[in-house]
Structure 1
Amino acid sequence: MNKFSHIDLRVNDLESVMPFYEKLLPELGFTRTYHSLNWKVFAAEGELPSAAYFAITEDREHKPNSNLIGFWANDRDEVDHIAKLVQENGGTINDGPRLFPISPTYYAVYFEDPCGNKYELVHRLN
């Protein structure tokens, strides 16, 4: 059983990052939205509350740090696709997409959202 439930993400400027997340999150499987005034929620398939979801709220004092959220990719093409999407929508590529010496098949891209929150998308076979 996958124990993942949700992510509650803080950003320092909700309005400026929403176009980025509106493009990124559906590509990662968070295709349904449940937005309120203070929270923008993107949910995966399944019934709430058990469906995984990604919730974003604004905290003007938020300062991104070294924390990193990682996602699996189905294949290298998906890693390349997401890297292009990040670049086209205001994100920053920090490294990749490329093979990393973690394992012979570890193909990943490391990136940040427009306010500096860090992510990784990885495909690996072993």
Structure 2
Amino acid sequence: MNKFSHIDLRVKSLEKSLPFYEKLLPALGFTRTFHSANWRVFAAEGELPSVPYFAITEDPEHVPNGNLIGFWASDRDEVDRMAALVEQSGGIIHQGPQLFPISPTYYAVYFQDPCGNQYEIVHRLN
């Protein structure tokens, strides 16, 4: 059993960041939405609460930090496609997509959302 349940993410501005997440999260498999007045929830296929979900809320006082959220990619082409989607959606690429010296097959892209939260999309064989 994968122990991952969910992420509750704060962003400084929903208006600024929601268009980014509306493109990124479905491309990562969070295709179902359960939005409320205070939360925008993107869930994987299946029935809640047993599927992973990504919830976003606005906090005008939020200050991004050094935390990083990582996602798996099925292959290098997916890393490249996701990097292009990040750029087209208003995200900022910091490094990659490229091989990193973490392992001989560690191919990743590091980026941030429009509010400064940090992410990685990675494919690796070992």
**What is residue 96 of structure 2 aligned with on the other side?**
96
Letter in 1 for 2:26: P
Q: Find the counterpart in structure 2 of residue 72 from structure 1.
A: 72
Alpha-carbon shift at residue 50 of structure 1 (Å)? 0.8
Aligned partner of residue 84 in structure 2, secondary structure: helix
Q: Deviations over 1:39-69 (max 9, x none)?
A: 0000001111111000000000000000000
Q: TM-score scaled to structure 1, two decimals?
A: 0.99
Q: 1:13: which partner in 2?
A: 13
Residue in 2 that maps onto 1:4: 4
Deviation at residue 81 of structure 1 after TM alignment: 0.4
Tell me the C-alpha RMSD between the 2 structures.
Answer: 0.4
Instruction: Flag structure 1 segments of 5+ consecutive residues without an equivalent.
Output: none
Aligned structure 1 segments of 4 or more residues deviating by more than 2 angstroms: none
> 1:97 is paired with a residue of what secondary structure?
strand
Corresponding residue number in structure 2 for 1:50: 50
Identity %: 78
Q: Distance in 2 between matches of 1:45 and 1:13?
A: 27
**Unpaired segments of 5 or more residues in structure 2?**
none
How far does residue 15 in structure 1 lie from its aligned partner after superposition? 1.0
Cα distance in 2 between the residues matched to 1:23 and 1:54: 13
Shift, 1:12, TM fit: 0.2
Aligned mates of 2:49, 2:86 — CA distance in 1: 29
Separation in structure 2 between the aligned mates of residue 32 and residue 90 of structure 1, nearest angstrom:
22
TM-score, normalised via structure 2 length: 0.99
Secondary structure of the 1:102 match is coil
User: The residue matched to 2:125 in structure 1 has which SS?
Assistant: coil
| Structure-2 residue corresponding to 1:113 | 113
